[in-house]
Structure 1
């Protein structure tokens, strides 16, 4: 049996369990703790073959063997998962991990989603959708998980932190989903018009900042325990503005600045569902993008209040970073990846350097001056060459 705490260079290193370490959020947390907090924490991130959230015996055996000092759960079932998979992964898996944390008397950090919230502006952490049978599988399972954690805390004293994320953006996501599905649709030029309206606002969550928050939460249990926190950028974003900005970066002709009414978009999605069912019956594997399950959200405003977070002791490591400032890096990373996989046609690389220089001028003008010496080493006028 592994000891709960490991002594490393005279320091006590806490041993943690991270579930969902292969995803965008989990991968970022794992990398952060290995490179920035290795003297405080050691994270184990078993894959689904070693620890399946759908198998309570797997969870029991793994936790009894390694005896973690804390548990972080950022695993989710896919948006379009069938009811059983969503129920077992998003709800039962959460419940089993929380029960283990309760019995070991250790902190449990859970990642939830804005999918549990209704439309609206400045939604607080205390607001939720009503739990009804009509809810889609994903929000229903995530909502059940939140309610169960709150109950375990209220009745039995579970030390948990529930972190709600909005639309997550960041690099190194190997799945084309969520925000990155939007980027892919634009890069692939498969979006002819704007599937939203002029006023639809949404909150966004920066994946790079999440590990800093998790680290802080583990260090300040009294402040962050037993509560839900919205981890989102302070300012919401117009979906139409974001789409048109990406279009401008990539110098695309589409989508046209035509706002498709929701009724037409809904009708078109229904036709596509009917076609995929027909193709499936004749043996052709065809699937709708899972995000189309939430097409109504493209036309509705949903912004999350982060007043609770701003009033806390957590300090944003990069307050100037937004989805717009990160776009050049995200586009460069994902376009390179999708081109190497032959998913999209190659793009001109020149615009990446241009946008990086423009971003440096806006965000870090001092760096422009520090690069002056390097530039002066290169001749501006080649006086030895004959005039042209």
Structure 2
């Protein structure tokens, strides 16, 4: 962080899941050495170019981090204004000021497949979903601006996991569906595997990228855990760690899943006509992705100067903390019944034994550094036999 000491930055999207993690890092762990401005949409709307100009004239930043997005299910205008045109406006400002621009993008711009590298992108076309199209357009325009001298780095995230997401979306929606017994069967197949991004590690990478511009300028990096995760195995691990009976270990074919979702969509439409607010989760537009693999290569990231301080941390090793955090939060919000989802320690250890023995070994090694006989009270216990 020494290279960033005294610098002033602007963070767009600081109220979201990813932006909140970056804000917490720079305000806390950076010990105030970085002066970070985090404007909300009332102070700086990415849809209004004059807002950007006035704010930048006042703040005079040394770098920009953009992780602001319009929601996945947003209409074409909002997706275009925030995800695309707003991102380009920020990049143009960075170009004119001669400062770095860090753009947080998404694996949505990449096709299905395995071991996908940074240059693997979907072809631009009108049929793409609004979210995908807008994020892809932003990346293409940044490449054009780079030819004119823009100092930028694109960080692509896959399925993001971590605590402190205040919305039920993405990976947290999967957690909620399992915890709330809303998934009777497995909406995937045995082959589908995906990459995951640890939100807790991202701020360290962003800080490193800002401090080493000569290496990272103009680059695109897949910021993902190296090992892909089978979706079915992850869901079953969640189920077993909570001691639930559902979802059953039955893989629902995609054709049936699509048929069922179509019926539900029509039902929701009828309910909405009655004046009752109802809508399907926006993530369902990516239902096909539940049945197709998309694994991103971390080779370029691992070959860089950035060193992962927690290489053993995976979505499986983080599940106990994620479940404890979100179950407690959803109980407090009244979304699930209090005390109805207890996390069983021995059962969880058994799941680690099956799916993540390396993490289990690390935890046992850490516990072994503590006194063993003093960890439990022996009062009231019978004397051991001679």
- With the shorter chain as reference, the TM-score category is over 0.9
Distance 1:115 1:321, change over 3 A: same
- The alpha-carbon deviation at position 56 of structure 1 amounts to 1.3
The C-alpha deviation readout for 1:38-66, integer Å capped at 9, x for no partner, is 35422111111111111111111111100
- Residue 361 of structure 2 corresponds to 362
Structure 2 counterpart of 1:175, from 167, 180, 192: 167
Give me the whole-angstrom Cα distance separating, in 2, the residues matched to 1:371 and 1:99: 55
Q: Name the count of aligned residue pairs.
A: 374
The answer to whether structure 1 residue 193 and structure 2 residue 185 are counterparts is: yes
1:380 and 2:372 are equivalent in the alignment: no
**Could you report, residue by residue, the CA deviation over 1:218-267 in whole angstroms, capped at 9, with x for unpaired residues?**
01001111011000000000000000000001111111111111011111
2:86 corresponds to: 93
1:143 paired with 2:136, answer: yes
SS of the residue corresponding to residue 371 of structure 1 reads: coil
Partner of 1:6: none
Structure 2, gaps ≥5 residues long = 353-358
Question: Aligned match of 2:45 in 52, 55, 71?
Answer: 52
* Matched ranges for 1:16-165 at <5 A: 16-38=9-31, 40-154=33-147, 156-165=148-157
Pick which of 375-384 and 159-168 moved more. 375-384
Q: 1:356 to 1:116 in 2, by over 3 A?
A: same
- Do the aligned partners of residues 377 and 279 (structure 1) sit closer, same or farther apart at CA in structure 2, a change above 3 Å counting? closer
By how many angstroms is 1:369 displaced?
3.1
**Are the structure 2 counterparts of residues 133 and 187 from structure 1 closer, same or farther at C-alpha, using a change threshold of 3 Å?**
same
CA separation in 2, counterparts of 1:69 and 1:356?
46
Contact map agreement 1:19 1:75 (CA 8 A) in 2: yes
Q: Secondary structure at the match of 2:166?
A: coil
CA RMSD of aligned residues (A): 2.1
1:299 counterpart = 2:297: no
Unaligned runs of 5+ in 1: 1-8
Could you say which residue in structure 1 is the equivalent of 2:253?
261
Taking structure 1 as reference, are residues 352 and 24 closer, same or farther at Cα in structure 2, changes over 3 Å only? farther
Tell me the distance in 2 between the aligned counterparts of 1:207 and 1:126. 23
Partner residue of 2:235 out of 217, 240, 243 = 243
Task: Say which of 319, 322, 327 aligns to 2:314.
Answer: 322
Following the alignment from structure 2 to structure 1, what is the Cα–Cα distance between the partners of residues 111 and 233?
22
Q: Is the 8 A contact 1:328 1:355 kept in 2?
A: no
Compute the displacement of 1:112 (Å). Answer: 0.6
Secondary structure of 2:327's aligned partner: helix
The CA deviation string for residues 91-121 of structure 1, in whole angstroms up to 9 with x for no partner, is 0110111011011000000011010011111
Distance 1:212 1:250 in 2: 32
Contact conserved, 2:327 with 2:341, CA < 8 A, in 1?
Answer: no
Q: In 1, distance between residues paired with 2:158 and 2:288?
A: 16
Query: Contact 1:83–1:137 at 8 Å: present in 2 too?
Result: yes
Q: Distance in 2 between matches of 1:54 and 1:135?
A: 22
